[in-house]
Amino acid sequence: MDKMKQPVGVLKGIGEETAASLSEMGIATIGDLLEYFPYRYEDYRLRDLAEVQHDERVTVEGKVHSEPSLAFYGKKKSRLTFRLLTGRYLVSVVCFNRPFYKKQLSINQIVTVSGKWDKNRQTITLQDIVFGPHVSKQDLEPVYAVRGTVTVKQLRKHIVNALKEFNRDLPENLPEQIIDTYKLMGKQEAVKTVHLPLDHQSLKHARRRFVYEEFLLFQLKMQALRKVQREQSAGTGHVFAEAGLNAFTDSLPFELTPAQDRVLQEILGDMKSPYRMNRLLQGDVGSGKTVVAAISMYAAILSGYQSALMVPTEILAEQHANSLLALFEPFGVTVALLTSSVKGKRRRELLERLAGGEISILVGTHALIQEEVNFNKLGLVITDEQHRFGVNQRRVLREKGESPDVLFMTATPIPRTLAITAFGEMDVSVIDQLPAGRKTIETYWVKHNMLDRILGFIDKEVQKGRQAYVICPLIEESDKLDVQNAIDVHAMLVHSFSPKWNTGLMHGRLHPNEKEAVMREFSENKTQILVSTTVVEVGVNVPNATIMVIYDAERFGLSQLHQLRGRVGRGSEQSYCILMADPKSETGKERMKIMTETNDGFVLSEKDLELRGPGDFFGKKQSGVPEFKVADMVHDYRALETARADAAKLIESKAFWSDPEYSHLRDDLASTGVLEGEKLD
């Protein structure tokens, strides 16, 4: 019988009520209790006040230096104050609502007090007092999150009891070889240390073990899932003539960059293999992902299949459809566009042709994953800007064909740490090189009061034949948020530039037909300036636009600013990005500064992750980024990388699936359902 699986009730002192409270905290078994970790520690070490920060909790030993004075106020409230000489310092100690201490204190007595240090007033607000010298019972006292009727003190006691009775039965779940290699603390010692730390050093050591353990268990799931998905899903082994594909590649007006070529080979390799491709393609804006996607789609077509390209916005769908049409026209490939604005008879006809196999490439928005959409023989699915699609939408799309190859493209450079957690079960390709001859976009950060100069600059550039975007965070004025809105800014620009230049307005509330019209006018240079909300963020391609002005830039994340900036710099002319921002916080200022210093999307995304945290990076709902108990993806990324490599090796080894040494890891895997190919979401 597994002792760890026993209910907490077997411990003395845990009755029904306590067990109920513990169960609210997710603690049902002895094992759960032992692995319920503190979220912080009360620090009772004696410290020199010089090292203590304002508002920090501190414990000091000292001599009472003045007669304690007691004052009553309100109904039952009291305040006791005395001076304390501790080391070189003479400080005040205040103690609220414990009048009885007055009798216990006398001048020159040695006491140990703990409390919050107010550096400005040189005062400690007392929380605990020991009438006598500091006795080091436990310098670091764990603090747990509690619920129900259980107090922290009681929980501590229960955990100590559990440690006494069961710690020696706690099995080691990591293989010996890994423990040796990384000199990790053993499980029993680590669990004990977390609850009863001797000092910071051993606590750090214990934490290091749990970080690795947590990452390894997680990465094992990812790697197992990847293996299972590959092996259980007989994919489509595409067969096509290289010569046919080369004819298409040769028809492009440029040579592929080495990075595009490498990534393309990775994708084609997957497509030819009998396994189903499950690949993430990352590449900065303008790195040429779309072309790679087009070539891959053509390979699928040559092998007798249809391809689908799903994108998050209608504008982008139209742009992609148009550029694919141009590319494929000479090759007799039928490209169709399906969005929610394709209705009625046109829609019915399109769906019929799709089901009949007359359409080879279908481009569209979410409309692609509706039930009524049936392909004849879908062999390749590509989604652009995939992080905007939820995990489920990705799955539905994949299930449209028999078992099509799937490629997820994103221009939001995902920090490696996040990519291997959120997309750990996928293969990753990166286009890490821009086509030659691109000029770096010059980025400036200005205050909003520089507007006149910016308008002058736009005027000058437009006179040279260029175009400009002006991005605003909101559509309409809002009482709550003091931000410029697209409609007002549009009115202001019309006033400034009319009749010399035309200014268009684009935002998410326009009818799709209106959007298309606005976009067309801009791409045909009928409007020179386009005021827009962030709907133009993704993928829009107007190479003649060289100015990107962003209002209230501090409201956007770094990755989003980088995306917006990527709308310019797409042609051969020098482009500019002007960030208008008056950030109040230091982080805000830092973010603006970083934008002006680097054009590297990966650097920015790492920085973004650091400044905003993983939850915010994708937006909570779709993130698929797991919560870790002890580990921190950003700060412990080295351990994450190590664990990933180890997990990959283990999953591929025979020993892992048979040797007793790995039985705990195997059991953990089996309990999650990944071995049946279930996704962890």
Measured from the CB atom, the residue of 289 and 490 that comes closer to ligand ADP is 289
Examine residue 319 and tell whether it contacts ligand ADP (CB under 6 A): no
Examine residue 289 and tell whether it contacts ligand ADP (CB under 6 A): yes
SS3 157: helix
Q: Which residues bind Mg ion (CB under 5 A)?
A: 290, 539
> Which residues, including other chains, have CB under 8 Å from residue 479's CB and lie 6 or more apart?
none
Closest distance of CB 267 from ligand ADP, Å: 14
Examine residue 249 and tell whether it contacts ligand ADP (CB under 6 A): no
83 DSSP β-pair partners? 92
> Which residues, including other chains, have CB under 8 Å from residue 570's CB and lie 6 or more apart?
286, 541, 542, 543, 545
Q: How many CB atoms lie within 10 A of CB 181?
A: 11
Q: What is the residue type of 500?
A: K
Buried b (16+ CB within 10 A) or exposed e, 217-234: bbbbbbbbbbbbbbeebe
With CB under 5 to 8 Å by kind, the binding choice for 114 among ligand ADP, Mg ion, none is none
Measured from the CB atom, the residue of 282 and 485 that comes closer to ligand ADP is 282
Nearest to 61 by CA among 113, 15, 104: 113
Examine residue 626 and tell whether it contacts ligand ADP (CB under 6 A): no
Instruction: Tell me the C-alpha distance between 211 and 215, whole Å.
Output: 6
Instruction: Tell me the C-alpha distance between 164 and 184, whole Å.
Output: 22
Closest distance of CB 396 from ligand ADP, Å: 24
Q: Which of 21, 290, 365, 417 binds ligand ADP (CB under 6 A)?
A: 290
Q: How many CB atoms lie within 10 A of CB 103?
A: 9
Examine residue 288 and tell whether it contacts ligand ADP (CB under 6 A): yes
Q: Which of 229, 260, 365, 386 binds ligand ADP (CB under 6 A)?
A: 260
Closest distance of CB 539 from Mg ion, Å: 5
Examine residue 287 and tell whether it contacts ligand ADP (CB under 6 A): yes
With CB under 5 to 8 Å by kind, the binding choice for 313 among ligand ADP, Mg ion, none is none
Examine residue 588 and tell whether it contacts ligand ADP (CB under 6 A): no
Stretch that binds ligand ADP, among 74-82, 251-259, 272-280, 512-520 (CB under 6 A): 251-259
Measured from the CB atom, the residue of 163 and 281 that comes closer to ligand ADP is 281
With CB under 5 to 8 Å by kind, the binding choice for 541 among ligand ADP, Mg ion, none is ligand ADP
What is the DSSP annotation of 312-364? SSHHHHHHHHHHHHHHHGGGT--EEEE-TT--HHHHHHHHHHHHTT--SEEEE
Question: Which residue has its beta carbon closest to Mg ion?
Answer: 290
Q: Give kind and range of the element (H or E) at residue 116.
A: strand 110-118
Examine residue 254 and tell whether it contacts ligand ADP (CB under 6 A): yes
Q: Which of positions 514-543 make contact with ligand ADP (CB under 6 A)?
A: 541
> Which residues, including other chains, have CB under 8 Å from residue 176's CB and lie 6 or more apart?
661
Closest distance of CB 627 from Mg ion, Å: 32
Q: Which of 304, 357, 435, 588 binds ligand ADP (CB under 6 A)?
A: 435
Nearest to 473 by CA among 488, 456, 462, 458: 488
With CB under 5 to 8 Å by kind, the binding choice for 105 among Mg ion, ligand ADP, none is none
Q: Long-range contacts for 605-613 (Cβ within 8 Å, ≥24 apart)?
A: 605/412, 605/413, 605/414, 605/415, 605/558, 605/559, 605/562, 606/415, 607/558, 608/415, 608/557, 608/558, 608/559, 609/415, 609/417, 609/418, 609/634, 610/634, 611/558, 611/587, 612/557
With CB under 5 to 8 Å by kind, the binding choice for 414 among ligand ADP, Mg ion, none is none
Q: Which two tokens stand for residue 533?
A: 């909300």
Closest distance of CB 289 from ligand ADP, Å: 3
Q: Which of 62, 286, 413, 557 binds ligand ADP (CB under 6 A)?
A: 286
Q: Which of 220, 256, 604, 674 binds ligand ADP (CB under 6 A)?
A: 256
Chain contacts with ligand ADP (rule: CB under 6 A): 254-257, 260, 283, 285-291, 411, 435, 541, 570
